[in-house]
Amino acid sequence: MSQKPCEVIDFDEALLDSCPAEEKAELMTEARILAQAFATEGAVEELEEMAETLSAGFRDAEMERAHARKLSAALKRLARDPWNEAD
């Protein structure tokens, strides 16, 4: 009996891609602003740390959990491809 290969889905990518275009653009802009303010240029590790912090629930009291998760996904995407302006 042959088994079909499993499809691996990146939850963060799926979450960000499920957002309407305008919201996705706003999230990517917010991620870039955070990166400029708190990460050294090109510091992928710092972006990933910020994303993990948001994802783990450490966030400002004014930020909703859903927004924090989406922003975390945007930071991860930015860490993977900082030059992708199409998002």
Q: Identify the pLDDT of residue 1.
A: 66
Q: Tell me what pLDDT residue 82 has.
A: 65
Nearest to 71 by CA among 42, 40, 38: 38
CA 19 vs. chain centroid, Å, equals 12
Which amino acid does the sequence have at 51?
A
- pLDDT of 84 higher than 60: no
pLDDT at position 60 is 67
The closest of 6, 34, 7, 56 to 77, measured between CA atoms, is: 34
Comparing 85 with 34, the larger pLDDT belongs to: 34
**pLDDT value for 19:** 97
pLDDT of 66 > 50? The answer is yes
Residue appearing with tokens 């994303």: 51
Based on the number of CB atoms within 10 Å of its own CB, is 54 exposed (0-12), middle (13-18) or buried (19 or more)?
buried
Are the beta carbons of 77 and 28 closer than 8 angstroms? yes
pLDDT digits (tens, 9 = 90+) for 6-17: 888 899 999 999
> Is the confidence at residue 87, as pLDDT, over 50?
no
